[in-house]
Structure 1
Amino acid sequence: MAVNNADNTAPTAPMPPQLRAARARRQSIIKFVILLFTLGFLLVPLIAMLVFTLRHPLSGRWSLAPWVAIFTGNGETLGADLTVLWQGLGSSLALCVVTVAIMLLLMVPTMVIVHIRSRALERAIEWVATLPLTIPAIVLVVGLGPIYRWLSADVLNTNPIWLCFAYVVLVMPFAFRAIAVGLNSIDVKTLVEASRSLGASWPKVFFKVIIPNLWQSILSASFISIAVVLGEYTVASLLGRMNLQVALYQLGQSNSQISTAMSLLALLFGVVLLVALDLISGAMRKRKEGK
């Protein structure tokens, strides 16, 4: 038995350099194939959309007319009224601002207080916040429809800006996860106790101690919420409100090339948001490390 134990604890022989190099080459090839397949899966539909906007589907003639119509704001020559497009784009941008503001006012103070006071309540809030992910949008509209009919008739009006209440519910799961990551990455209780022991008031602790440490998470939650609002179609369509995606659908009935080109621009805007988030996060991280 002693001999067996000695054999089991004996160090394994190091792998020869030739085998390590061969394994590294195989891993590099596998990574390259996976990356190539993923890029093809993502880029081929986008390239097809770009080709569709440049090549007329009936005559086969190549033209930049759909893109020129978007950037000049004149689609009459192509039989398209771009008024609905600008109306939907303006509504979506306004919805982004209002939705992000309401989401931050609701989520950030609530999550900070609950994170400090009660972890059990934090799990309950997490369950409530992530619940919209399990409920289809069509089911949400069934519940929201009577509420919006009452709001439109008796309290507010039919302006698309009031979709912000429904959109706050839709972005809650993504915002909660982004803010929760930030809260879990810092010792909130220690920061609060140290600040309070030095005589700082609760508003000062919140705005000058906690919020500066959560900027990266707040930006992540805001950018993700903007991307969700810009891409939302089901709720706005079923509630009869105008936003960017509904406008693109209506525009596609008269000129599908312009609608597809604008969809590509919206996707590009989402990519720019993500890249900006990565650059801002990297800059903030370097600044903290420099301090």
Structure 2
Amino acid sequence: MKGLAPHPVTRWVIGILVGLFFAIPMVATLLYTLRDGDGYSLVHWATLFDPASAYLLRPLWLAIGNSLIIAVVTVVIVLVLLAPTIVLVNLKFPRLRRVFEFVALLPISIPAIVLVVGLVPVYLQIGRTIGTAPWTLAFAYGITALPFAFRSIQASVDAIDLRTLTEAARTLGSGWLTVLLRVLAPNLRPGLLAASLLTVAVVLGEFTIASILNRQVLQTALLVVGKTDAYLPAIFTLLSLAAVFVLLLVIGRVGRDRSERTRS
């Protein structure tokens, strides 16, 4: 196995190339927001604090709030439905694992435009039943985030001895809910955190479903505001990327602290 490991120089080269792949577009976007005539300044960033621009920023702040609410609801739906199902399939129905994996990964192969066309009649009924609040998009976003969340949680399930942990807890008298929440969930924390992060990223970056279903989220608001001020969408894109990056660091730190406590 050691012979298959890449040389340190190779790892550095790959790391630098990947870093440049992500850094160059972000730096270019940042320079674009700083452009002011023939030089650079913070005049476009000052728009965020200019009372005269409140009419432009109001839809963006509202859309950000909607997106955050949708992200939280989507994460809850995905984790509550997917994690117990993965555990159940691996414990009780291992022969169905491949079938379940195929179904869970299927949404990634379906274009968003096709998915939303099929969901339009469903959302007509949802609108009549519980209203057209933006958070209802969480049902559709849960489908689009399913493949990414499944891979993250399944990887954590494969990394632990699921059956032994479950049987030991059951032997000691724990109920299934206790086993799931107090025994398995702490061991699956890295996968659950990764699934949550990927779900949030999917929600913040999705445009097609929200646009066709006529919901106001971050991506649709950026398009509308961009028709008036081309710099604001770029600024908010950088801010959202920075927020996701901080979230990634927090999740990585939580997972690392958990691993260190487990080893000690």
TM-score between the two structures when normalised by the length of structure 1: 0.83
Find the counterpart in structure 2 of residue 49 from structure 1.
29
Aligned-partner Cα distance in 1 for 2:162–2:9: 44
Letter in structure 1 aligned against 2:47: A
Find the counterpart in structure 2 of residue 68 from structure 1.
46
8 Å contact kept, 1:174–1:221: yes
Out of 92, 99, 104, the position equivalent to 1:117 is 92
Aligned-partner Cα distance in 1 for 2:12–2:52: 43
Aligned-partner Cα distance in 1 for 2:99–2:77: 21
Out of 162, 172, 179, the position equivalent to 2:153 is 179
1:260 counterpart = 2:211: no
Aligned-partner Cα distance in 2 for 1:31–1:193: 41
Aligned-partner Cα distance in 1 for 2:88–2:171: 18
8 Å contact kept, 1:75–1:82: no
User: 1:149: Cα distance to partner?
Assistant: 2.2
Structure 1 residues 234 and 38, CA gap change in structure 2 (3 angstroms):
same
User: For 1:101-250, what aligned pairs fall within 5 Å after superposition?
Assistant: 101-152=76-127, 154-250=128-224
User: 1:208: Cα distance to partner?
Assistant: 1.8
Deviation track 1:48-86 (CA, whole Å, cap 9, x = no partner) reads 111111113xx335331222222x263529xx6111101
Aligned-partner Cα distance in 2 for 1:271–1:224: 12
8 Å contact kept, 1:248–1:259: yes
| C-alpha RMSD of matched pairs (Å) | 1.9
Tell me the secondary structure at the aligned position of residue 81 of structure 1: helix
User: 1:180: Cα distance to partner?
Assistant: 0.5
8 Å contact kept, 1:73–1:82: no
Tell me the secondary structure at the aligned position of residue 196 of structure 1: helix
Equivalent residue pairs, number: 258
Aligned-partner Cα distance in 1 for 2:50–2:137: 26
Deviation track 1:244-289 (CA, whole Å, cap 9, x = no partner) reads 1111111111111111011011111122222222222111111100
Structure 1 residues 96 and 242, CA gap change in structure 2 (3 angstroms):
same
User: 1:119: Cα distance to partner?
Assistant: 1.1
Q: For the pair shown, which has the larger CA radius of gyration, 1 or 2?
A: 1
8 Å contact kept, 1:182–1:214: yes
| Structure 2, unpaired ranges of 5+ | 1-6
| Structure 1, unpaired ranges of 5+ | 1-26
Residue range with higher mean Cα deviation, 190-199 or 242-251? 190-199
Find the counterpart in structure 2 of residue 7 from structure 1.
none
Letter in structure 1 aligned against 2:233: S
Tell me the secondary structure at the aligned position of residue 65 of structure 1: coil
Letter in structure 1 aligned against 2:156: G
8 Å contact kept, 1:216–1:281: yes
Aligned-partner Cα distance in 2 for 1:37–1:198: 51
Residue range with higher mean Cα deviation, 164-173 or 204-213? 204-213
Structure 1 residues 35 and 102, CA gap change in structure 2 (3 angstroms):
closer
Deviation track 1:199-222 (CA, whole Å, cap 9, x = no partner) reads 222222222211121122111111
User: 1:41: Cα distance to partner?
Assistant: 2.8
